Amino acid sequence: MSPELLNALAIFVLAILVGFEVISKVPATLHTPLMSGANSIHGIVLVGAMLIAATADNPLSYFLAFVAVVFGAANVVGGYVVTDRMLQMFRKRETPPQKPADKPE
């Protein structure tokens, strides 16, 4: 295995651990926006689509790259817009969304 691959594997494993840490702290109320937000992040595959488009030089490659760019762009743009729409509603509240600590029982 090349050093690049070993580095990439290290990054991969650490990123997974970061993902577990960051995600496990999200409250249930935000799970739908979270799923949608995470969904937009894997739209990063758009970058991959652009990179293969850059070196496309035959009709099959053109086609594969074009569909990949369209798919990736739809994932990115749609994902972020729809997540923002959801979260906008959480912001509209009159009462600040604090933990139950601020309402004495």
Residue 101 interacting with other proteins (CB under 8 A):
no
Residue 89 interacting with other proteins (CB under 8 A):
yes
Residue 3 interacting with other proteins (CB under 8 A):
no
* 64-83 residues near other proteins, rule: CB under 8 A: 64-83
Residue 104 interacting with other proteins (CB under 8 A):
no
User: CB of 67 within 8 A of CB of 99?
Assistant: no
CB contact set of 44 (below 8 Å; sequence gap of 6+): 76
For 19, 26, 40, the CA distances from 30, given in Å and listed in that order, are: 16, 7, 15
* 33-52 residues near other proteins, rule: CB under 8 A: 33-52
Residue 91 interacting with other proteins (CB under 8 A):
yes
Question: Least separation, in Å, of the C-beta of 54 and other proteins?
Answer: 5
Assigned token pair, 37 = 């937000």
CA pseudo-torsion sign 22, 24, 29, 31 = positive
Question: Least separation, in Å, of the C-beta of 100 and other proteins?
Answer: 7
How many residues contact other proteins, by CB under 8 A?
A: 89
